[in-house]
Amino acid sequence: MTHEIAVIPGDGIGQEVTPAAVDVLEAVDADFDFVEGDAGDAVKAETGEALPAETRDLAADADATLFGAAGETAADVILPLRDVVGSFANVRPARSYPGLDAVQPDTDIVFIRENTEGVYSGIEAEIDDGVRTLTRVITEDASREIAEFGFKYAKQNGFDDVTVAHKANVMRETDGLFLETAQEVGDSFDIDYDTALMDALAMHLVMHPGEYGVVICPNLAGDMLSDLAAGLVGGLGLLPSANVGEDNALFEPVHGSAPDIAGQGIANPSAMILSAAMLLDHLDYGDEATAVREAVEGVLADGPRTPDLGGDAGTDDVTAAVVDRL
Amino acid sequence: MTHEIAVIPGDGIGQEVTPAAVDVLEAVDADFDFVEGDAGDAVKAETGEALPAETRDLAADADATLFGAAGETAADVILPLRDVVGSFANVRPARSYPGLDAVQPDTDIVFIRENTEGVYSGIEAEIDDGVRTLTRVITEDASREIAEFGFKYAKQNGFDDVTVAHKANVMRETDGLFLETAQEVGDSFDIDYDTALMDALAMHLVMHPGEYGVVICPNLAGDMLSDLAAGLVGGLGLLPSANVGEDNALFEPVHGSAPDIAGQGIANPSAMILSAAMLLDHLDYGDEATAVREAVEGVLADGPRTPDLGGDAGTDDVTAAVVDRL
Ligand SMILES: CC(C)[C@H](C(=O)O)[C@@H](O)C(=O)O
Ligand SMILES: CC(C)[C@H](C(=O)O)[C@@H](O)C(=O)O
């Protein structure tokens, strides 16, 4: 069965790493039709819209979407796209790789970030001169959905501990609901889990990342803690992510458009290729996903490496080396 | 002139490290009257109130307050106390010390955390079954006050760079106001400053803490990022903090009541003693503050050390060693 894959390179290094991921997907034994769409600063400059309706429709109709990065307009592109694919879970694995410099080489954590609410509600108001509010929304449904997803993910992927992040001592009603619901779900699974205040968790993740497996988080906490973990393993160039919905999904590197190095052909394509591996897993090409991951790991270990990892190879060299290993 | 210092040890190791800080304050050449008050889990169990009115009044009337820690009731104690002293700024220095194990030994950052609003508004509601909201409040006044405090702090303490943390790409109105206001203030100071998305900042702080000086943050971001930095320098046992208002202030370690080690006499008093040094600075005992800081640094370098730093000394040994060096 042919799967239709929407491909949205976006801006900056998105234009360089997205084709790399497509090259890899074309090299594995899978039946994909790629259809490309525009989004980001460049298309906004031309058309006035960062996310044109056609691109939106493309993602809505595809079996899955690969998204590169966007510049200034990142939020205008990625937040609606996450919504278009109906994604409630943002899955962000952060792991260190042998042979690569890392602040904490013993890191292998998957952040399961609630992807629809919290302070991402978009509900803001100026209620008086110089007084503005944002409505942080937490629902039992979304909390249950992300917790169930997270605990199931841990089970299926062989993690034996789960941590639920929250700040229920301050956000008593909202994070209280998030926490309670996650605990209810956790109690129904046969797995060890802990709960942790998100501030204390930030400290513990820095000091003892090896003690963590799956971390289930409210939206913004997941955003910050997964970036923190990116710092532990050597930077955003290595972190893929999946935005998972009921029957659609979008895959993107955690990094942005990196205007400082865009156009030079030196962007690290690993995060994007690993995002493509997550896409393969999602569409039930498990063996191919594993092969891609092993190929990336091999290249990370033996080179070639892009400058962000201390090498002097280009995006194309790294991509060719990954394809070679498949 | 005699200053009245309210002393609120609280729960757990608060009972052990607070007397240590008082010992140090009694050893320097300053004229203090100490008056003690109760707060926390223990007094709540007895009286039903975590923060009795007398303790509240004590803090309100004193020239400054030393607070240890509270257990389960931490938020019920510390949030009202911060309010009682009218503190708008939470100052949290995080630095690594020579000779101590640290994830990042080159860290010397002061977080200036907005201390009154953001998601700490306390305004929450259940608007429907399973649907709860929290009102995140950002005002121009509080944003200006914290930014002015932060830039002035940087100037006065010899920092030559300031970073303003925000998430204005998502929280456009609220953090937009925080960011704009801080930029306006920053532009009026003769100092280099940058702005940073709080997620990207979490990553950069982990990888390159040496590039940061003063970091001005909204309330919860400051909570999380300063704990992150505690992880970089070796844990909460080293981080003091000041809650600064117009004409009152409260000083507390960033750590909590640590029930796991409470009652054993092995708690690290450094964070609490360094908080007392911040109190000395605040009351214009600058030389004494420097002397205390140098004494703590000397003891951290040469010992004795408590178990959290790999030693086997007790709280009293460390305190005596600090007093000895004064
Ligand atoms: C660009 C921004 C809206 C986005 C987010 O906050 O989710 C980004 O930081 C991310 O983590 O993908
Ligand atoms: C106990 C809690 C309310 C408090 C906070 O969130 O400010 C604590 O985490 C801190 O950082 O002092």
- What is the pLDDT confidence band of residue A6, given thresholds at 50, 70 and 90? very high
Q: What is the pLDDT of residue A235?
A: 83
Whether the model pTM is above 0.95: yes
What percentage of chain B has pLDDT greater than the value 70? 100
Indicate the residue of A137, A206, A230 with minimum beta-carbon distance to B133: A137
Return the minimum-mean-pLDDT range out of A9-13, A122-126, A299-303, B62-66. A299-303
Say if the Cβ atoms of A202 and B225 lie within 8 Å. Answer: yes
Q: What percent of chain A has pLDDT over 70?
A: 100
B211 touches chain A (CB under 8 A): no
In this predicted structure, what is the pLDDT of residue B224? 98
How close is the Cα of A73 to the center of ligand 2, in Å? 34
Structure tokens that stand for B129 in this block: 């079954």
Given this model, what pLDDT does residue A98 score? 86
- The domain locations on chain B are 1-88+240-325, 103-233
Please write down the HEC assignment for all residues of A288-305.
HHHHHHHHHHHHHHHCCC
CATH code of the region A1-88+240-325: 3.40.718.10
Mean pLDDT of A123-142: 98
Output the residue whose Cα is nearest ligand 2's atom 12. Answer: B254
User: Which residue among the candidates A57, A199, A287, A324 is catalytic per the annotation?
Assistant: A199
Residue B235 banded pLDDT, cuts 50, 70, 90: confident
pLDDT in tens, A170-221: 999 999 999 999 999 999 999 999 999 999 999 999 999 999 999 999 999 9
- Position A99 scores a pLDDT of 82
Q: Does the pLDDT value for residue A119 go beyond 90?
A: yes
Measure CA B205 to chain center: 18
Q: Is it the case that residue A131 has pLDDT exceeding 90? A: yes
Could you tell me the fold of the domain covering A103-233? Isopropylmalate Dehydrogenase (3.40.718)
- The average confidence (pLDDT) of chain B is 97
Q: Give the phi and the psi of residue A264 in degrees, each rounded to 5.
A: -100, -5
Residues of A in contact with B177 (CB under 8 A): 130, 132
A residues 6-65 near B, CB within 8 Å?
A: none
Shared fold status for B1-88+240-325 and B103-233: yes
Asked if A131 lies within 8 A of B124 by C-beta distance, the reply is no
The atom of ligand 1 lying closest to the CA of A254 is: 12
Integer-rounded Cα Rg, in Å, for chain B is: 19
Per-residue pLDDT of B19-52, as tens digits, reads 999 999 999 999 999 999 999 999 999 999 999 9
Residue A138 near chain B (CB below 8 Å) = yes
Q: How far is the CA of A255 from the centre of ligand 1 (A)?
A: 9
Catalytic residue flag (residue B101) = no
Q: Tell whether the model's pLDDT for residue B182 goes beyond 90.
A: yes
A52 pLDDT tier (thresholds 50, 70, 90): very high
| Average confidence (pLDDT) over A58-63 | 98
Strands of the sheet with A240-245, listed across from one edge:
A32-36, A3-10, A64-69, A249-253, A240-245, A87-95, A108-114, A214-217, A161-166, A192-197
CA–CA gap between residue B91 and residue B216 (Å, rounded): 10
Taking CB atoms and an 8 Å cut-off, how many pairs form between chains A and B? 154
Residue A48 has pLDDT above 90, yes or no: yes
Distance CA A324, CA A320 (A): 6
